[in-house]
Amino acid sequence: MIQKRTRVWLTRLYPRSWRDRYGAEFSELLEQCLRSPLDILDVFLGAVDAHLQLLSGENLTWRMMNMLNKIRTTILIVFTAFIGFVIAGFALVGMLDDSPMVPLMRSTPSLAVLMATIQVGAVIAFLSVVIGGLPLGWTLVRRALQKGHRGLGLLLVPVISFLVLVLYVGFVFLVGSGRIQLPGVVQVVQPGNFPVGNKLMLSGILGIFILGALASVLAVWKVISRTDVEQEAFHVGGRVQNIKIYTFAFVPAVITTMAMLVMLIATLLWGVISFSALPQVFTANYGPWQTSTSAWFIGIIALMSLCVLAAIFGLARNRLEKID
């Protein structure tokens, strides 16, 4: 019997859209019927034929599925980039916390305007993700409930990640308020003396957040890749509306990308103006846990840029054609 790895490899010779439709049954067939090298040659020829069909646009169903994959991947890339951007945003807030940049912002109108731009951009991007993601999320939950435990288990990953984060933040709060005593952790940190215990405990928040975000993104990607659904019926105002969940999310994805681009530019300008006004702050350690301010800021800008570039790439790779 042919090895599973070989079957998977042979099936992967076919276009993605073809595999989405026939991959599972074709792999099952290969397990039973590959008898000679001629059969393997036949699979090669079949794969070439499938690619040619796709290129020539002969098969409308595959073209539609291919297009659906493109829109789906675009939405996933943009929403994942947004999560990366949120991490960068939290890092920015951590850097500003208790730093001399806060009073500087209050006294400098241009900095206040730039920070307001970042905040408004964050709200717009968040709302866009929520609006674009609601039909998709609802569909995934509904399908997972219909299909069984594995899909549900994967969809529970973001919920569990969030609960773990909340519990850990609660734990840190209890330690900070003195209700729980931990060796090596002090309640009040003195400037220039940040105990290792405190650093570890606070690093846990960022670590849990990043790990939870990664696990959640992977889980949702997995569920989406296994949910072969393009549209879903929703009851809106007493009427049934069929919504194409990925096409629906495209405009919010564009808005999210634009909001992220504006926030990146605003953050960059904010950093340049702040650095001009208070250069000593950037050479000091006002980063979270008394780490280098400039290193944090460069890291934040790098992460934000990466996320914006990923989102723009995601949008650009999708030639938005009408499926109808």
Partner 1 sequence: MEPSEFGRFSDPALFILASLAGGEKHGYAMMEDIELSTGVHLGPGTLYGALSRLEQVGYIEALPADDRRRPYRLTSQGVVFLHQSLVSLEKFVSLGLKRLEA
Which residues inside 91-120 make contact with partner 1, applying CB under 8 A?
none
**Contact residues for 71 (Cβ-Cβ < 8 A; gap 6+):** 246, 247, 250, 318, 320
314 burial type by CB count under 10 A (0-12 exposed, 13-18 middle, 19+ buried): buried
The single residue listed with the structure tokens 């039973």 is 32
Q: Kindly state the tokens that stand for 110.
A: 């241009």
Q: How far is the CB of 14 from partner 1 (least distance, A)?
A: 9
Positions in 53-82 near partner 1 (CB under 8 A): 59-61
Instruction: Compute how many other C-beta atoms are within 10 angstroms of the C-beta atom of residue 30.
Output: 19
Question: Which residue's CB is nearer to partner 1, number 18 or number 297?
Answer: 18
Q: What is the DSSP letter of 99?
A: S
**Could you say whether residue 250 binds partner 1 (CB under 8 A)?**
no
Six token digits for residue 175: 């330690």
Evaluate whether 260 touches 301 at the Cβ level (below 8 Å): no
Which residue from 16, 19, 20, 27 is in contact with partner 1, where contact means CB under 8 A? Answer: 27
Binding region for partner 1 (CB under 8 A) out of 25-33, 85-93, 199-207, 286-294: 25-33
Q: Compute the distance between CA of residue 212 and CA of residue 217 in angstroms, rounded to an integer.
A: 8
User: Measured from the CB atom, is 43 or 140 closer to partner 1?
Assistant: 43
Which x/- pattern over 2-21 shows residues binding partner 1 (rule: CB under 8 A)?
----------------x--x
Applying CB under 8 A, among 12, 44, 57, 147 the residue interacting with partner 1 is: 44
Nearer residue to partner 1 within complex by CB, 45 or 159: 45
Beta carbon nearer to partner 1, 24 or 182: 24
**Torsion (CA) 64, 254, 87, 297 in degrees, nearest 10:** 130
Binding site for partner 1 (CB under 8 A): 18, 21-22, 24-30, 32-34, 38-39, 41-47, 49-50, 59-61
